[in-house]
A = this chain, B = another copy of it.
């Protein structure tokens, strides 16, 4: 008899008058081995009882739970779109994401995972036997360093926006070099020869920040005859307004500023406003990411559009691929996604040099 509120496979088998194992196999699609009549009876019985496979159990049996752990917060519209891509792609494979993160999203301007907490979080996912893991940069270090606890559990991992010399997993990143070439050319074509970069604090796990800055640097070097300076925010990013303000007061004020993300461009806009510097007449500004607010800034922000949804979909596809065909030793795939310079109102011809 049925017990509890969920019918068991045994109930279905009883009603269909077949053995438990027959019911199991028929419902898994092994119709060829059984008589059409038996198959029909089982299908009807399952339907009638409202039987649904207990995925906890079959996950235990088969080693597959059909879940992917996602350690990515909906931090801003870039990451929301990444998540959206992940969800879309996983749903196609009937896989469920378990999304977790640390800390309060409201106070997460420049979050860095404590290593211990990061390991705990990933372990909690692994304890649920997720089939794979999708990580954002702050967890990169915790993952790579806790070999025994994490890597030895043989769960495929794909990291987004993180790229190490010595790869320990697949990665999906933006083609920073290509993006910055477009930015450098654009500004150079407009006549800018004094260019500043406002970067975020750089840590090993924030590899994208380092790569983004270096990409611009090398592109500008390639163009020649450009003076270049880098400014950098503190770890929490809390000195954004101060840095922007100082930058614009500096002796040889740049004619163009490139920022690590659109977030920093806001500070530049504000500082410019306070100092009576007009954008784009006196100062050109280029952001990065094309966050949701970029197009509605005044003036609309010229920025590099990261293909966030594509990044999410590629990452999800890749982790599913590794679930299907494990390759714990690598070689690991560094997937690069293109980005597109979006020209808007914040860039214009360089003002005549003073």
> CB within 8 Å of B: which residues of A?
5-6, 50, 52-57, 59-60, 65, 67, 73-74, 80-81, 83-84, 87-88, 91, 94, 96-101, 104-106, 123-129, 148-149, 152-154, 292-293, 296, 298, 309
Contact = CB atoms under 8 A, between A and B. Distances in A.
B123 A52 contact: yes
Contact of A128 (B73, B96, B104, B292): B96
Given A52-B123, A56-B56, A96-B128, 16 more contacts: A5-B153, A5-B154, A50-B148, A50-B152, A52-B126, A53-B127, A54-B60, A56-B57, A56-B60, A73-B84, A80-B105, A96-B124, A96-B125, A98-B98, A293-B293, A293-B296
16 contacts: A50-B149, A54-B60, A54-B127, A54-B129, A56-B129, A74-B80, A81-B105, A83-B105, A87-B101, A87-B105, A96-B98, A96-B125, A97-B99, A98-B99, A293-B293, A293-B296
The listed residue with most B CB atoms (<10 A of its CB), out of A54, A56, A94, is A56
Q: Which 4 pairs, one residue from A and one from B, show the smallest C-beta to C-beta distance? A: A74-B74, A84-B105, A55-B127, A5-B154
Contacts of A148: 50
Contacts of A99: 97-99
A56 B65 contact: yes
A116 to B, nearest CB: 15
A98 B68 CA distance: 10
B56 A84 contact: no
Given A100-B87, A125-B96, A128-B96, A309 B60 contact: no
Given A57-B60, A149-B50, A106 B81 contact: yes
Q: How many protomers of this protein does the assembly include? A: 2
Contacts of A6: 153
A52 B309 contact: no
A25 to B, nearest CB: 19
B152 A55 contact: no
Nearest to A60: B56
Interface hub of A52, A54, A104, A127 (most chain B Cβ within 10 A): A127
A94 B53 CA distance: 26
Contacts of A293: 292-293, 296
Contacts of A296: 293
Contacts of A104: 84, 88, 309
A154 to B, nearest CB: 5
B128 A67 contact: yes
Contacts of A88: 104
A6 B129 CA distance: 10
A84 B55 CA distance: 27
B129 A55 contact: yes
A89 B309 CA distance: 29
Nearest to A59: B56
Contact of A97 (B67, B100, B292): B100
